[in-house]
Structure 1
Amino acid sequence: MSPITISFYTKKHCPLCDKAHMILKELQEEMPLEIRKIDIYQSDELIEKYGLMIPVIAAEGEELQYGQINKESLRKRLLTINK
């Protein structure tokens, strides 16, 4: 099983982002994930795109989940990507 590269869009001082990162770390123990943490404040374009949605978890060019992250549904989505 090859690693799935996750783009994790986040910002500082974001409790939802902290929770989402913890969920990603837990899932990383179950399957090979490469987590790329991206602070949306590094780019005006990212702030405009994701400012109201963060945290955002994307893989394979697709936004998988945003806001309140659900571990079980995210796990299912990741398993379908890695088939």
Structure 2
Amino acid sequence: MSGARITLYTRPGCHLCDDARRVIEDVCAEVGAAYDEVSIADDPDLERRFGHEIPVTFVDGRQHDFFRVDPARLRAALTG
């Protein structure tokens, strides 16, 4: 187990994924949290599940956001 509280599901070449990653990295640096990134590109089950919502963010195992990551909302989820 990695200990990461956030999982970011992405796809290569996705500009929204790049944006989400930057927000997550910034918030993680502020609050001392870790994140894992998982590409759905080579996993048919993940592609079926998240293919139309990428990027998808989970916090503590629960879906938190998709498409965009709001930094204030993410910060609140990690510190609240």
TM-score tier after normalising by the smaller chain length: 0.7 to 0.9
- Aligned pair count reads 78
Query: TM-score, normalization: structure 2?
Result: 0.87
Q: What amino acid is aligned across from residue 63 of structure 2 in structure 1?
A: E
TM-score (norm 1): 0.84
The equivalent residue for 1:67 is 67
Aligned to 1:45: 45
The amino acid across from 1:38 in the alignment is: V
* C-alpha RMSD of the superposition: 1.3
Note if contact 2:24-2:69 (Cα within 8 Å) is conserved in structure 1: no
SS at match of 1:33: coil
SS in 1 for 2:13: coil
User: 1:15 and 1:23 mapped to 2: Cα distance?
Assistant: 13
Cα distance in 1 for partners of 2:65, 2:31 equals: 18
What residue number does 1:54 align with?
A: 54
Quote the offset at 1:45 in angstroms: 0.4
2:53 alignment partner AA: M
Q: Following the alignment from structure 1 to structure 2, what is the Cα–Cα distance between the partners of residues 5 and 60?
A: 5
After superposing on structure 2, the runs of 4+ consecutive aligned residues of structure 1 that deviate more than 4 Å are none
For structure 2, the 5+ residue unaligned runs are none
Matched-pair identity in % = 24
Shift of 1:42: 2.3
